[in-house]
Amino acid sequence: MYKLLRNMLFWFDAEDVHYFSMNFLRLVCKFPFLKNLLRRKFSIENERLRRNLFGLSFSNPVGLAAGFDKNAKYLPELSALGFGFVEIGTVTPVRQAGNPRPRLFRLPKDEAIINRMGFNNDGASAIADRLKKYHEKQKTSLPLNPEPIISRMIIGGNIGKNKSTPNEDAWKDYENCFVELHDYVDYFVVNVSSPNTPGLRDLQQKDSLKKILSLLQHLNQTKKIKRPLLLKISPDLSIVELNDIIDLALEIKLDGLVVCNTTISRENLVTPGEVIEKAGTGGLSGKPLGKGSTDITKYIFNKTRGQIPIVTSGGVFTGNDAKDKISSGASLVQVWTGFIYEGPEIVKNICKVIM
């Protein structure tokens, strides 16, 4: 049924469909009995699915990657679809519109997406206010308690820099976002690996990265409640660059790595070249990223002997995809493009296989 609906939705602009679909879901969830019906249909509860990581308790290990709910507008609806955790953002200090549209393109033959969104978001202060209201409305305690909280969906905050901020001042943007969001998210992910902000990936170089991460770790230590700090890495790193990041993660005691962001590679696609050329620049996600993200996960896990928890994203569409990531060393998995292609049952279908 969903695939028929998906084929119809694919006739229209991808970004327009995204907001239409999520706003329709939000309308449905305004009626408690319909929201409960969705929860019963798409959620699955089982003790075997629970994961304790970073001092947090996840109801299941399947999350939604950053970039889907950039502005924390759809958290109740995503919770109803059974996600164990949702990563909002990427959030920047100041609101920005992102890159010109169109900037989101589907490649159905490859079950992939190209995006060059460019960190379009409402800004850290506005998103922090929205998160505060979300917690109050849900009548859950704000995530200030160091004890694991089982009854609610975990929320991660993916943070980045504004396009206009020069790289030498990037640390200020990450600090700003950290301070603004600290009281309202459960963990942070530092994003220096998106290909859609000019020069951002240069911050993955060891010296630049150490400055940002060390600052955030120091800031974290001054807080009464310390938030887990993770780094999202690119799939396009060389082995030397990857080893540098692993060494740095161990040195400054990062809580984990997110593997991985979108790729600039266009290798081994079956979509005709003229279609890919028309879509233009941007990060590629979906099935073509599956093997690469698994290989990087396995490499990091083996090199560190499991010392660094890994959240793996990239090519997760089915329960078997998730099992493959977990058996390679992932503690949690994230979906994004898989959610678009597989539909609202993706969390339940994955959980049935992995529990």
Where in the sequence numbering do the catalytic residues fall?
194
Give the separation between CA 107 and CA 128, rounded to whole angstroms.
Answer: 34
Phi, psi of 11 (to 5 degrees): -75, -20
Other Cβ atoms closer than 10 A to 3: 10
298 in Cβ contact with 290 (< 8 Å):
no
Side chain identity, residue 93 = P
Other Cβ atoms closer than 10 A to 315: 24
Give the separation between CA 137 and CA 151, rounded to whole angstroms.
Answer: 15
Give Cβ neighbours of residue 156 (< 8 Å, ≥ 6 apart): 63, 66, 85, 86, 87, 88, 185, 186, 187, 188, 189, 230
